């Protein structure tokens, strides 16, 4: 039974209660109240634990009973349904993955351990070298062409 089902049943019970309340002054409202109350009772969840046999007897022969009392019963049951639908179990969160340590944190950890830091290999495989800077001119063939043009 979903939240919306409980709300729909509660609305039918409240309309039935209003009809039963008005039936003192307008007896034709009794028929509408019986119709709404019967629909609501048929749709009630079993686990609510409500005994409906006595109410069904009243609905079968409403002339011999005080329908104002039945209106109060319908309204009370509607309140129970709406309160019940408000309280929903919380979903458990999935545990979050721990964050990767930042480069600065990894450098700090290495320095605290007393190790000289020459390079770091990141989790994605990228290697960062912190050693002496090398001349890129010896490896790059484009720089060789520049030396020729300067002469």
Closest Cα partner for 73 from 47, 104, 51, 97? Answer: 51
pTM above 0.75, yes or no: no
What tokens appear for 2 in the block? 């979903």
pLDDT tier at 150, thresholds 50, 70, 90:
very low
**Which pLDDT score is estimated for 16?**
92
Could you give the count of Cα atoms lying within 13 Å of 100 in the half-sphere of its Cβ?
5
Instruction: Kindly give the interhelix angle for 29-43 and 53-60, rounded to the nearest 10 degrees.
Output: 150
pLDDT tier at 35, thresholds 50, 70, 90:
very high
Average model confidence (pLDDT) across the chain? 79
Query: Cβ-count burial of 131 within 10 angstroms (0-12 exposed, 13-18 middle, 19+ buried)?
Result: exposed
**Least confident stretch, 25-29, 108-112, 134-138:** 134-138
DSSP 8-class letter at 140: -
Closest Cα partner for 18 from 89, 77, 74? Answer: 74
Q: Which residue ranges make up each domain of the chain?
A: 3-86
Task: Give mean pLDDT, residues 50-78.
Answer: 84
């Amino acid at each position: 039974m979903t939240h919306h089902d409980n709300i729909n049943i509660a609305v039918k019970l409240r309309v039935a209660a209003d009809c039963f309340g008005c039936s003192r002054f307008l007896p034709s409202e009794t028929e509408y109240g019986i119709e709404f109350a019967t629909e609501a009772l048929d749709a009630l969840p079993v686990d609510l634990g409500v005994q409906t046999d006595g109410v069904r007897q009243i609905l079968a022969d409403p002339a011999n009973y005080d329908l104002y009392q039945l209106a109060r019963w319908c309204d009370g049951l509607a309140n129970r349904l709406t309160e019940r639908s408000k309280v929903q179990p919380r979903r458990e969160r999935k545990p979050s993955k721990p964050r990767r340590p930042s480069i600065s944190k990894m450098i700090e950890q290495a320095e605290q351990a007393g190790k000289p830091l020459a390079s770091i290999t990141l989790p994605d495989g990228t290697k960062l070298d912190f050693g002496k800077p090398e001349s890129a001119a010896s490896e790059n063939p484009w720089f060789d062409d520049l030396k020729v043009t300067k002469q």
